[in-house]
Structure 1
Amino acid sequence: MSEHGPTAGVDAAWQYLRGVGGIDERLVDTRVLPRRDAVYGEWPGWVPAGLRAALSEDGRARLWSHQVEAAQALYEGRHTVVATGTGSGKSLAVWLAYLARAGEAAAGPRSLAERAPTACYLAPTKALARDQMRHVTDLATRAGLGLRVAAADGDTEREAKDFARTRADVVVTNPDFVHHVLLPQTARWTHLLRGLRVIVVDEMHCYRGISGAHVALVLRRLLRQARRLGASPAVALLSATCAHPGEAAARFLGVDPTEIATVSEDGSGSGEHRFVLWRPRVVSESAEDGAVLYDDDAANSAEWVALMSPATGVPGGGIQRRSVTSEGGELTGELVGMGVRLLAFTRSRQGAESLADIARDHLARRYPDAIDTVAAYRGGYLPEERRGLEADVRSGRLRALATTSALELGIDVAGLDATISCGWPGTSASFRQQSGRAGRAGRDGLSVLIASDNPLDAYLCDHPDQVFAPVEASVFDPHNPHVLAPHLCCAAAESPLTEDDLTLFGLSDNGFVRMLAERGLLVRRRSGWYWDISAHERPWDLVDIRGGGHEIQIARADDGTIIGSIDAAAADSQAHLGAIYVHQGRVFRVRERDEDVVVVEPAPPKLRTRVTEHTRVRILGVESTVAGTDAAVTWHVGDVEVERQVSDYDLLRLPGLQFIRNVPLDLPARRFPTRAVWWTLDPELVDALMLGPDLLPGALHAAEHASIGLLPLLATCDRWDLGGLSIAEHPQTGLPTVFVYDGAAGGAGFADYGFAHRDAWMGATRGRVSACECHDGCPRCIQSPKCGTNNDPLYKVGAIDLLARLAPGDVSAGLR
């Protein structure tokens, strides 16, 4: 029991979940993490009295040990990573050191050449940025420091951005703004850059894969420009959920790990935290034709249901459960009615809206007085709408928000009792962030994880210990040439690129830069390499930080109203000519499309479309080859070129998604280079397993799907970051081959990680497929919502036999 004690609502919710879940077998497992006593440190002598008094007024008369350790390292100007739990006051350690230096500068004499210390805070979400802005402003004001704090992002008005640029001591922003606005206009941001004392990278673990590589290089370019103007900032990297934080921080900055001060011993106290692993209730023992197969918000978005969902039920008489959105909405309503304050996390914007509606319906039936205390919170809302919802949660007027990951990292709301995660959020890091929103400041908390129908969630139900396993390794590669090249071009445009700059970008010599010059992107002069201004585009426009390509606007044909947007990478499959597009329950048909806009018109509400996509993989180079556990299996990793092409679509009709007709499409093949891991089979093994030409393709295909579904158990990715191909005879290998590749140009590091951990990966995959209760395959084992051939063919028994040769067994104990 914590010093604050649990609320009656949390106790009632705990008893309700254990009672009801035990009756109908929805309850899979429960865990209780015990309370932890705080460990305190001594106040550093350099902390000004006013700042110490301001913290004491907040009830923080003592600092936790990790705050003292981190603040001391930053005060000394060392790069520092703070990897302690959620709610452990990591950012306070940063502001303590910075505000102390700001106070010293204000109190002492300063020459005209000296600059007042400034700080730049980078957040992955606007909610988190605004929360930190409010926090540091309040602390500085009460400490009598008169600090000027300003936001600079896409929501900021022009006058406020001008203030941030010319007068602010602390600028609260994000990596996108730094890349697109601040660095291209370095000369206008000299007030910030010349005095830059600290750069804060909050929630470092968010930056993974391609986006992680981009943000790391943006940060290095920011450091370069600050140093060029005479500053020597320390970087503070903060994360509650980062494996090997010192190594990850060093990779982020491009320095040796010995240059990083790593603070990972958490001195904060915490209350008792109760966890519930839950499955939606069974609605039938076999799915009916036309049932939605994929119990996953990301897969069951309106676009997915409209464009990709197969028209058959679960084959082989598998068990069908309610969707996580329905289950989560009902649990949210029930817990709110019990007096619990909570956040319910979903994996899509539509899922957040639907969950809030379901929760309100439940409250209308059971607790009508609380019907107005639940709302949705997601991307796409206007800034004033988001801030109003945040204020209502803080005040307690709203008891629950149904949200996407927009609040996973976001606002520090005191008094939240519980979280509900509708589906595994993709990584252990994300789940810990979500559950960490409950029970902060020493309070007890409750977290519910509702498992979706997909291989990874089903695996976690089989192995509940994995929910609480150490977080995944942070996987990103700043040296990916497809990422590094445009950033070097940007750096050369910001200031001449010299030999001394090369080590900052991980280059041992100037060969890569000379290659860019030979391609006409850079020009060599006496003082260094410059961006070739005769090029037709700005170098900053060559960088896609988010990795999804530019966004295409979706406009109504009748009045030109913009009703949404879609990533260019998804346009061929979801916004081709004739595609049915569903938006907030309204059905539209794509009438026109070009590179920047899709024009839609109203369509009959019962129509849907489903595309066929063909994938080819060409091996460009093999980096490493090793024999598998079975000598008849060989593993490879290297560079490949992936070609995808949408060839046609089926027009379907609800209910049941009955086939109407097939329509050919004339779309180009899309090619991109990436990294892949692949395995090949000796023909003798195929014969021994009695996998003839009619069965082998389905067995390979099923093994491919299952392995893609389980790789996120090890690396910081989810299945939407990956792609795959299985083929009975690949033209280059001449053998049965299965590829799993990174879905981003140049690779994101996930395939390489899978190759390095292949035994654990395949062991977990084999265990999940073997343990699944279905007969012939289902979304919990071998079916995939991403499949371009609509999950045909699949052969579960053959996949199990293959996986038994790929791995020595279920080695889940060795994961992470």
Structure 2
Amino acid sequence: MHDQDRIQEYINSLLASPTMGDQVVHHRTMDGTDPSYGEPRRPFSPSVNSVLGFRNIEQLYSHQAEATDYARAGRNVVVATPTASGKTLTYNLPVLEQCLRDPDSHALYLFPLKALAQDQLKTFNEMAALLPEHARPEAAIYDGDTSPYRRKKIRDTPPAVILTNPEMLHLSMLPYHEKWAPFLAGLTHIVVDEVHTYRGVMGSHMAMVFRRLLRICKYYGANPSFIFSSATVGNPAELCHDLTGLEVNPITESGAASGKRNYIFFNPVVSPYSAAIQLLKAGLARGLRTIVYTQSRKMTELIAMWVNEKAGEYKDRISAYRAGFLPEERREIEQKMSSGELLAVISTSALELGIDIGGLDLCILVGYPGSVMATLQRGGRVGRSQRESAVILIGQEDALDQYFMRNPDDFFSRPAENAVLNPYNPVIMQRHLVCAAAELTLRDNDYLLRDEEIKKRVTELEKEGILLRNKRGDEIYSTRKRPHRDVSLRGAGSTMHIEDSANGTTIGTIDEVRAYSEAHEGAVYIHRGSTYCIKELDLGAKKIKAAKERVGYYTRARKNKSTEILEVYSQKKVFGIVMRFGRLRVTEQVTGYEKRAVKGGKLLGIVPLDMPPVVFETQGLWMEISPEIKRRAEEDFIHFMGGIHAVEHAAIGITPLLVLTDRNDLGGISTPMHEQVDGPAVFIYDGIPGGAGLTMQAFEQAEELLERTLQVIVDCECELGCPTCVHSPKCGSGNRPIDKAAAIYVLENMVNGQPPEKIEDLSMVLVPFGEDVKKEESSKEPKSFGVLDVETRRSAQDVGGWHKAERMGISIAVLYDSTEDKYFEYEEDQIPEMMERVQKLDLIIGFNIERFDYKVLSGIHPFNYKGLPTLDLLLKVYERLGYRLKLDNIAQATLDAAKSADGLQALEWWKEGRLDLITEYCKQDVAVTRDVYLFGKENGYVLFTNKEKKKVRLPVSW
């Protein structure tokens, strides 16, 4: 049977099936389109035209011609057209032409996955091979799999084109840019493939990586232009502008031909996974090359396990594929799929991108992928070369899935969503600014500091001692030489490795923030069909140990959450309520986990856990529900808390309709009484530190958010609430309390209520938090202060260690009293007399006074030293820098004054009975400490000499 007939026969059989036909809720055929061609404004050179001729390309598609015009003119362009529309030519042709024109020019190709780089190297080399031998540009992959010898060769004699990934750019090129000088100086084009993947957390990271790259390019005199390629998104130009800060020209109309495509919406009466297996088996029986997409790593593995048990003769022709697999495992699967050895692959979004796995016929989506863009992108993997294909969307219980099962026309009329990111995520920006300052000293006229948001953050980091200004004040340095390895581009936290405890091999990776809820002790982790139980989560070593075990359950974390409003960015009336958007502090505490049966999901038990809380700041919106709605609900005996909890779940479930995100990227909390709001509130926030811009976009579409949320709950056919409307698969309290009828009541009152007459300015009445109060207290000016230092009779070695300082005894103690501007000296038997004077002072200052001087004194004179108002300069330095400095270092850099001796010399003098010399030495220590304090108080900084022997400022506020 011909391929085209196989697809038609498969669909006809499905529609006619007595058991499955009535589960098809919608079937739509999208006709193929004819190609539309265009001519470049300026003809390509004969050499480039010959390459096109050899590849049997007589004309360029209209979008290819337009994109190459921009790229050849040195302008930034983004091509956002469907999968398989020939985007590769839009960057290869201008780059080849530039290399022919100027052999010293270079291009950098960035791909989010290594496998994409392998594909594109092959394509580039095939095109370059068609040029005259003397003019052929070379290309090379530079990634984690490149050998050290090859890496050095690429650096020393760079090829015309380097293909790499964001991690290598961040870890290997930017920190060592001086070794890449010849390549960077000649950089004319930066190609960014699959740019739509750079959103959310990774988008925030890449916004800083691209700015760092442009800064280094400008240092070497290069001004490269960008060529972006993207799947169909709603805002390609805005996305690329957020990523680079540059103006970018969008091209969104595709001139490529497309084959006939069948879309089938399938709403199963039983498990979506069982339906997927039946549909896959029917495809395999007809020899249809199939890709099955699932929503999670766990489900990818579970379906692969179930298929392997029931697939019979096809068992060895099906494989799972997901992120977290080791590179060699993924390459093997890609190669087998491309060659036809595998007939089907079951994948997460990892195979959504343009990795070449050959022509496919059938795409089965187990659950709505969360966005129109991702659905089209995944569906675009099938039916290449104008072949007929089919895409089957299997509805799960999720709110969005069921929304489209009931409203299929809305799916086909809905534009692609906007890809959003927060280019100024403060947490992520901080990490990259430390990297940038380590790469190249920051100066006031720096490329990065032209951006006011970045400039503001640099000032904050200076005050925190994370970035350090030089003595003159015109240069800013990083506190660390190589901070890059601590920055993971794909997560808000650092990456943790999951090890098989039997042999120590790494079986996967997980983001630190997710590890708390997915890789806690007792959690079930699935890898390539095998189940593992997590035995140890070592947050300090960033390692997770797992043991291979066969279990019939999966796990789900239970959490307690609270949120504090830190700042209000924006507020408005939305129907009958006030909605605000701002900065929040979220505290999440994993309290235990549920064990649920793999078959049926029945709750088998709850295991308590004792884990530290996760506290982070993020962006979020909140709906302030009037106390009047709550009062009326309670008068009508409606379960108000169950209602607002259900509203929270339903709103989070529907948010991906408005924003390109997954519900797992969002968090929420509902409370009948929030003290800062002074009433009931529902919060929805970005689930990553610093925020990703997701809820900001949802806030802008607040009216649609509320209307769609109400519609989803009302339209759901369930009686009391279900995963389709108000239950959440990741609810930390196990979906309790939840009340569907109460949710409808609350939402109808919100949507149909009278708009509030006025909006109270919440920022004026926000409750101050502890640290702000402390700041206020510590800023009180002391009327009098004393500076104290003690010298001992015995060394740490004499008494058995520093922890026994109370046994060291006192040779002399010197106190400077600011009220009399005099030094007072005290021997050991005079310490009680000294303490009488100390208690009259507003502030006692010392260097390591809390951990050393007070401890020594406690062995001589019993007193509550911790109750004294104390400023320990060493402690303040440590809080700022994260490491200790000697007083001598600070004194020499700040005052050009050095200590006259050291503690060991003072001990020798004690043995010799030279109390006069000890007193003089101790008095000088006190004078130096006092002068350092006064300098810092007056100037807002002190100086020290860093490891690079540069004098730098350390901001202080004492």
Q: TM-score, normalised by structure 2?
A: 0.73
Work out the CA distance in 1 between the residues paired with 2:594 and 2:357: 47
2:6 alignment counterpart: 9
Letter paired with 1:232? N
Q: Which moved more, 1:329-338 or 1:554-563?
A: 554-563
Deviation at 1:49, TM superposition (A): 2.5
Q: Which of 307, 322, 344 in structure 1 is aligned with 2:271?
A: 322
CA contact (8 A) 2:232 2:416 kept: yes
Contact 1:522 1:529 in 2 (8 A): no
Q: Secondary structure at the match of 1:553?
A: strand
- Contact 2:192 / 2:227 at 8 angstroms: preserved in 1? yes
CA, structure 1 residues 433+558, in 2 after alignment: closer, same or farther (shift >3 Å)?
closer
Is the aligned partner of 1:177 residue 2:165?
no
Secondary structure (helix, strand or coil) at the match of 2:176 reads: helix
**1:576–1:593 contact (8 Å) kept in structure 2:** no
Superposed displacement of residue 586, structure 1 = 3.6
Q: Tell me whether 1:250 sits opposite 2:241 in the alignment.
A: yes
Match of 2:370 in 1: 426
Using the alignment, how far apart are the partners of 2:443 and 2:57 within structure 1?
A: 47
The Cα shift of 1:442 comes to 2.7
More divergent stretch after superposition (714-723 vs 568-577): 568-577
Q: CA deviation at 1:28?
A: 1.5
Identity %: 35
Give me the whole-angstrom Cα distance separating, in 1, the residues matched to 2:599 and 2:31: 50
Q: Residues 663 and 279 of structure 1: is their aligned pair in 2 closer, same or farther, counting only changes over 3 Å? A: closer
Q: Does residue 1:85 correspond to 2:76, yes or no?
A: no
Residues 520 and 532, structure 1, Cα contact 8 Å, conserved in 2? no
Q: Deviation of residue 127 (structure 1)?
A: 2.0
Are 1:685 and 2:673 counterparts?
Answer: no
1:156 paired residue number: 146
Shift of 1:386: 2.8
Q: Corresponding residue for 1:799?
A: 743
Residues 469-480 of structure 1 mapped to structure 2, 5 A cutoff: 469-480=414-425
Alignment of 1:730-741 (within 5 A): 730-741=674-685
Q: Is the 8 A contact 1:649 1:665 kept in 2?
A: yes
Q: Is the deviation greater in 773-782 or in 237-246?
A: 237-246
The code of the aligned residue for 1:752 comes to M
Structure 2 counterpart of 1:335? 283
Aligned partner of 1:285 in structure 2 is none
Structure 1 stretches of 5 or more lacking a match?
107-115, 283-320, 810-816
Aligned to 2:348: 404
Query: Within 2, Cα distance between the matches of 1:415 and 1:322?
Result: 29
Q: In the TM superposition, what is the alpha-carbon distance from 1:438 to its structure 2 partner? A: 1.3
SS in 2 for 1:426: coil
* 8 Å Cα contact 2:520/2:534 also seen in 1: no
Measure the CA separation in 2 of the matches of 1:660 and 1:464.
37
Check whether the contact 2:291–2:346 (CA below 8 A) recurs between aligned residues. yes
Contact 2:532 2:546 in 1 (8 A): no
Query: Contact 1:12–1:338 at 8 Å: present in 2 too?
Result: no
1:698 pairs with 642, 665, 685, which one? Answer: 642
Distance 2:489 2:432 in 1: 10
- Which of 485, 488, 492 aligns to 2:437? It is 492
Deviation at 1:428, TM superposition (A): 1.6
In 2 relative to 1, CA 253–564 (structure 1 residues): closer, same or farther, beyond 3 Å? closer
- Alpha-carbon spacing, 1:659–1:25, altered in 2? closer, same or farther (3 Å): closer
Q: Which moved more, 1:211-220 or 1:609-618?
A: 609-618
**2:458 aligned to which of 490, 494, 513:** 513
Is contact 2:395–2:405 with CA below 8 Å preserved after alignment? yes
Paired residue for 2:299, among 351, 357, 362? 351
Q: 1:578 to 1:501 in 2, by over 3 A?
A: same
Deviation at 1:548, TM superposition (A): 4.5
1:138-287 matches, cutoff 5 A: 138-144=126-132, 145-166=135-156, 167-255=158-246, 259-280=247-268, 282=269
Q: Secondary structure at the match of 1:723?
A: strand
Instruction: Report the CA distance shift for 1:426/1:604 in structure 2 as closer, same or farther (over 3 A).
Output: closer
- Are residues 62 and 25 of structure 1, via their aligned partners in 2, closer, same or farther at CA, if it must alter by over 3 Å? same
Change (3 A) 1:185 1:808: farther
Answer yes or no: is 1:614 the counterpart of 2:560: yes
CA distance in 1, matches of 2:320, 2:610: 40
Alignment partner of 1:501 out of 446, 449, 452: 446
Q: Cα offset for 1:502? A: 4.9
Deviation at 1:662, TM superposition (A): 6.2
Higher mean alpha-carbon deviation, 355-364 vs 344-353, is at: 355-364
Unaligned regions of 5+ residues in structure 2, if any?
754-958
Matches within 5 A, 1:703-718: 703-718=647-662
Does 2:478 match 1:532?
Answer: yes
Question: What is the letter of the counterpart of residue 132 of structure 1?
Answer: Q
**Could you say what secondary structure the match of 1:474 adopts?**
coil
**Secondary structure, aligned partner of 1:625:** strand
Distance 1:462 1:603 in 2: 41
Secondary structure of the corresponding residue to residue 689 of structure 1: helix
Task: Report the equivalent of 1:130.
Answer: 118
Q: 1:741-756, aligned counterparts within 5 Å?
A: 741-756=685-700
Give 1:306's aligned residue. none
Which among 547, 559, 575 is matched to residue 629 of structure 1? 575
In structure 2, the CA distance between the partners of 1:605 and 1:679, relative to structure 1 (3 Å rule), is same
Q: Which amino acid is the alignment partner of residue 148 of structure 1?
A: E
Cα separation, 1, equivalents of 2:605 and 2:9: 54
Q: Offset of 1:25 from its aligned partner?
A: 2.3
CA contact (8 A) 2:61 2:256 kept: yes
* 1:757 counterpart (701, 711, 714): 701
Q: What letter corresponds to residue 253 of structure 1 in structure 2? A: T
After superposition, the C-alpha distances for 1:286-316 in whole angstroms (9 at most, x for unaligned) are: xxxxxxxxxxxxxxxxxxxxxxxxxxxxxxx
Q: Secondary structure at the match of 1:275?
A: strand
Moved more, 463-472 or 716-725: 463-472
Q: Larger RCO: Structure 1 or Structure 2 (Cα < 8 Å, ≥ 6 residues apart)?
A: 1
**Amino acid aligned to 1:149:** A
Contact 2:185 2:220 in 1 (8 A): yes
Mark the CA change 1:579 to 1:702 in structure 2 (over 3 Å): closer, same or farther: same
Note if contact 2:80-2:232 (Cα within 8 Å) is conserved in structure 1. yes
Distance (Å, rounded) in 2 between the aligned partners of 1:651 and 1:390: 35
> For residues 359-381 of structure 1, what are the alpha-carbon distances to aligned partners after superposition, in whole Å with 9 as ceiling and x for unaligned?
556653xxx4x554333333344
Greater displacement, 488-497 / 64-73: 488-497
Give me the CA root mean square deviation: 2.8
Q: What are the within-5 Å matches in structure 2 for residues 501-580 of structure 1?
A: 501-502=446-447, 506-507=451-452, 510-525=455-470, 528-533=474-479, 535=480, 538-557=482-501, 559-579=503-523
> Does the residue aligned with 2:233 lie in a helix, a strand or coil?
coil
- Give me the whole-angstrom Cα distance separating, in 2, the residues matched to 1:28 and 1:141: 51
Q: Shift of the alpha carbon at 1:609? A: 5.7
Write the letter of the residue equivalent to 2:675. P
Partner of 1:801: helix, strand, or coil? Answer: helix
Match of 2:724 in 1: 780
Q: What is the identity, as a one-letter code, of the residue corresponding to 2:250? A: T
Change (3 A) 1:22 1:94: farther
SS of match in other structure, 2:660 = coil
- SS of 1:728's equivalent in the other structure is strand
2:585 is the counterpart of 1:641: yes
Task: Give me the whole-angstrom Cα distance separating, in 1, the residues matched to 2:337 and 2:172.
Answer: 32
SS class of match (2:420): coil
* AA in 1 matched with 2:153: F
C-alpha distance in structure 2 between counterparts of 1:507 and 1:339, whole Å: 59
- Mapped contact 1:502–1:510 kept (Cα < 8 A): no
Counterpart residue type for residue 192 of structure 1 = F
3-state SS of the aligned residue for 2:517? helix
Distance 2:723 2:525 in 1: 24
Q: Count matched residues.
A: 745
Structure 1 residue matching 2:170: 3-state secondary structure: helix
Shift of 1:579: 4.7
Contact 2:15 2:21 in 1 (8 A): no
| Residue in 2 that maps onto 1:461 | 405
Question: CA contact under 8 A between 2:215 and 2:448: conserved in structure 1?
Answer: no
